[in-house]
Structure 1
Amino acid sequence: MSFITDKQTLDDLNITGKFSPHSLFSLFNATQTRGGEKLLDRMFHQPLSDPAAINSRSDVFKYFHERNLSFPFSAAVFQEAEAYLGGSTGSSFLMVAGDLLRKKALHLTIKDEQYGQFQSGLLAAIDLLNTLQDFLRKVDGPATTQFETVKKALNAHRTKWLDGTQAGQPLTLFQLARYDHFIRHVLREETESILDFIYHLDVYIAVSNVARARNFSYAQALPKEKNIFRSTAVSHPALEKAVANPLVLQEEQNVLFLTGANMAGKSTFMKSLGIAFYMAHMGFPVSAKDMQFSVRDGLYTSINVPDNLNLGYSHFYAEVLRVKKVAEEVAEGNDLVVIFDELFKGTNVKDAYDATLAVTKEFSTYRNSFFVISTHIIEVGDTLRETCDNLQFSYLPTIMENNVPRYPYTLTAGITSDRHGMVIIENEKILEMMEE
């Protein structure tokens, strides 16, 4: 079963998108090859749901994280070798030699460039294979099937001729035909595996180097039956000086009811948590210390729900449809992470109170999922305390210093009593300005 989510969640958390400002994909995209970038994009769109697969990928990233390696290929050589290896050749040595003889004749008579491009591409491919072989001799690599397969291919008896072929060494037409037939026909499967391996190597090095620079760590995936999430410090990966907060979610307390004033940091904390869950399911480094999590079937958020004027949807109705979508997934028995920021803010206070209370109570009965629900309507929390035993209540405080609010962004147990909206309005002198 694959990890389920949707575009709304990816947009809320700004996960994907090469051209999306400050997206998580852009943060990690320090790849050197087009193939590496495409592979990274696929990983971002295909989180994993198997604990063993997640931990295995994390272990590979950790291996490179600890060694601080650089991508071993020059961009020019790699691009030329990649273009050459992507082409086809004859199925027999005689066919290759005949075609090459024709190209050389055209080169000598009308200065056709095909022969020179062929020779340059082949030499670049040989250089690439030798460079990879040298790299793997110096780096043991993690014990994965992919690494072992490539090592075996490069150390096989039929590739020993590579050791005697140096970059820039002139080759005869006979050698060119022989090597081309060997690389692009006899070893076709192996060279495709090697190219794919290099794209993975590109991603491993790029991502681990970003993680090291930002002091990210690696989460441990647990079976879903454990039904636990814990971390001593969750923060937002795109903020360099983000305040980190601890959090534990488990079956006995699977709902976090979050309150706090505007600008106190509720949305940022909820995004941080959603991103940590998503990146951990990818097996990627996370901005969370000592993180352990039971794998979930999916993640849904409702943070920036847009209205849809073309369909005649108001903001409130769009919120209702969003809650309905998530409720359907929860009711089907999926183990989910659900994050709702400011439920039903598109309607009046009375309806918002009733709806928030009813929806939170109903969702809380599904103890196989984790829920984080924030609201300004703090009275809801007082009622939920009396009716639900599996909620934990936290808030992000506002500290007033000389009538000026300060936000420490530290998660605090309880329900906020902060009511400083009018103080902020008065500080901005809005009413005085209008009276004048």
Structure 2
Amino acid sequence: MKALAAHTLHELQILPREVGERSVLDLLNRAYTHSGKDHIKQLLSTPLGTLPEIQQRQKLLQYISANLTEIEFEIPKSYLTAAHNHLDSNLAWNAAKTWFNRYRLSLWYQWFSTHDFYRLLSGTTALQKVLGSIGEKTAWWRDSDQLPHELQQHAKVLRDFFDHAQPTLTAKLNRISMIEVDFFLRQKYVNQVKAVLAVFYQLDAFCGIARFLQTARWAYPSFVQTPEPTFSVTDMKHPVLSEEVAVGNDFSLAFPQRLTLLTGGNMSGKTTFLKACGLVLYLAHLGLPVPARTATLSFFDRLMTSIHLSDSLDLGYSHFYTELIRIKEVAQAIANGQRVFLLADELFRGTNPQDAFMCARQVIDILVRQSGSLFLISSHLVQLGAPYEKNTSVQFNCFKTNVLEGELAFTHQIEIGITEEQTGLLLLNQTEVLSCLQQI
């Protein structure tokens, strides 16, 4: 799958749009280090390009989850900070090769640059301890031939370093030996040291995700390879909602249907449902489990969204024009032979109802003829369903709202069919807006 547009990452709440907004990143970001957390954010922004890559990522996470206690690190953050500061410091190293030269250099540091002497000693100690801890923690799996593909690549990086570095990492530091150890770690093998730390932070990121998955009831999706695409889930929930609020839904869209027309009143759950479908599809293409009991889907080239649109003041685009641009991008992707999964919330709501109906009708007429892609479109325009009642490429789903003693009761449960419920006036009365207006 191609990388998502920035607006889609925000619309689906994969990444927060602003500080404090809940997102999938908040859920998964259980890494121990700041660099590990940054790696998780990068991972969430980079979908995998092929099905084999997805399957390899799934195996990696399953392996780490099963061996989390043996793989996760517990290195004091103070040591990590000191090690990085020393590795990046401007404190000069010296290639003194003989014992006498190292002894003379250590005396110079100790007598004429005491501050640098202790900086060198403490930084080298921290770097030595961090690398030594990584070596000890990974020793059991570095030579294993049962590792997932990505861990095998990491194991090679670690072997290339620790096979040469072990004497240096176990050397007892004194004013002479620290000169030699520092030269080894910060100059001679500095690239290998940085590669080892990069592996450490990647492992920390995956361990952080695994920590979340230990308590989340998520499932690894199954990918199917069929001529026509499919998307099927059971007990799918929006992960950002609390367990007490989230409602599980079963849903399937597959041949001969290509397009779902989703109707329902305000606050019935249409937008949340579309977002949940988008999250399942996207997380699956990251090689991650998804917030559902089961999920079966096809590999898609593009996930595209038209949710929570707003006018673009910078570009001078209106809401309606922005919608048109999004649909044009979908058309261009399909024309280029890409398999698209489209989520469109309240299609063409940026114009008046009659205009929206005519525009939506023409767009849907074309979309339902496109094999190889799937389209989920929500709308308040219930009359939009009539032209497609006998079209086998269109299925109808809805979220109904019950009225109990004048109060709205939302089930947030998806059903088959079209609902013509109009809840706006009831919500107007329920929120007592008119009472406030009458007091003006």
- TM class by shorter-chain length? 0.7 to 0.9
Q: Is the 8 A contact 2:96 2:102 kept in 1?
A: no
* Paired position in structure 2 for 1:410: 413
**TM-score normalized by the length of structure 1:** 0.88
Matched, 1:146 2:153: yes
- TM superposition shift of 1:99: 7.8
Q: Letter of the 2:45 partner, please give it.
A: H
Which structure 2 residues correspond to residues 223-238 of structure 1 after superposition, within 5 A?
223=225, 227-238=229-240
SS at match of 2:361: helix
What is the alpha-carbon distance in structure 2 between the residues aligned to residue 46 and residue 365 of structure 1? 31
Give the alignment's Cα RMSD to 1 decimal: 2.9
Contact 1:261 1:396 in 2 (8 A): yes
Q: Supply the distance in 1 between the matched residues of 2:121 and 2:84 (Cα, whole angstroms).
A: 14
The answer to whether the 8 A contact 1:4-1:297 is kept is: no
Instruction: Please tell me whether residue 393 in structure 1 is matched to residue 396 in structure 2.
Output: yes
Report Cα offsets for 1:54-94 as digits up to 9, x if no partner: 12112222223334434321111112223334468768552
Residue pair 1:297, 1:336 contacting (<8 A) in 2 also? yes
> The residue matched to 2:413 in structure 1 has which SS?
coil
- 1:236-385 map, 5 Å: 236-241=238-243, 242-385=246-389
| Equivalence for 1:15 | 14
Partners of 2:261 and 2:397 within 8 A in 1:
yes
Residue in 2 that maps onto 1:131: 133
Q: What residue ranges of structure 2 are gaps of 5+ in the alignment?
A: none
Q: Residue 430 of structure 1: CA displacement? A: 4.7
Identify the match of residue 167 of structure 2 among 153, 161, 168.
161
Change (3 A) 1:289 1:101: farther
* Letter in structure 1 aligned against 2:343: I
Work out the CA distance in 2 between the residues paired with 1:299 and 1:216: 21
- Equivalent position amino acid for 2:219 in 1: S
Range moving further from structure 2, 368-377 or 184-193: 184-193
Percentage of identical aligned residues: 25
What 5-or-longer segments of structure 1 have no aligned partner? none
TM-aligned CA distance change 1:230 to 1:100, over 3 Å: farther
Question: Aligned partners of 1:200, 1:281: CA distance in 2, in Å?
Answer: 19
- Give the aligned length: 428
Q: 1:80 to 1:435 in 2, by over 3 A?
A: closer
SS of corresponding position for 1:76: helix
Distance in structure 1 (CA, Å) of the matches to 2:226 and 2:185: 45
Structure 1's 398 and 299: CA in aligned 2 closer, same or farther, altered over 3 A? same
The match for 2:80 is: 78
Q: Provide the residue aligned with 1:214 in structure 2.
A: 216
Q: Which amino acid aligns with 1:12?
A: E
Deviation, structure 1 residue 379: 1.4
C-alpha separation in 2, matches of 1:302 and 1:67? 40
Task: Sort the Cα spacing of 1:425 and 1:41 in 2 relative to 1 into closer, same or farther, 3 A.
Answer: closer
Q: TM-score, normalised by structure 2?
A: 0.87
Change (3 A) 1:159 1:7: closer
2:122 paired residue number: 120
Q: 1:160 to 1:354 in 2, by over 3 A?
A: same
- What is the distance in 1 between the residues matched to 2:188 and 2:400? 67
Q: What letter matches 1:398 in structure 2? A: T
Which residue number corresponds to residue 50 of structure 1? 50
* Aligned partner letter, 1:161: P
